Amino acid sequence: MNFLEKFNIKFKNKKLLSVALTHSSYANEHKGCENYERLEFLGDAVLEVTTSEYFYLHTDYKEGQMTKLRASYVCEKALATYAKEIGIDKEIKLGHGQMHNLNDTIIADVFEAVVGAIYLDQGFDVVKNYIDTIIVPYIKKNIDFNADYKTKLQELVQTGKKSLEYEIVNEYGEAHKKVFEVVVKIDDIIYGRGKGSSKKEAEQMAALDAYNKSHR
Active-site residues, by number, are 44, 112
Which phi-psi region, left, alpha or beta, contains residue 119 (left: φ > 0; alpha: ψ -120 to 50)?
alpha
- The answer to whether 82 touches 163, Cβ cutoff 8 Å, is no
DSSP helix/strand/coil, 131: helix
Cβ-based burial of 5 (10 A; exposed 0-12, middle 13-18, buried ≥19): exposed
User: Residue 186's beta-bridge partner residues?
Assistant: 164, 189
**CA geometry: angle 108, 86, 112, nearest 5 deg:** 30
Q: How many CB atoms lie within 10 A of CB 175?
A: 7
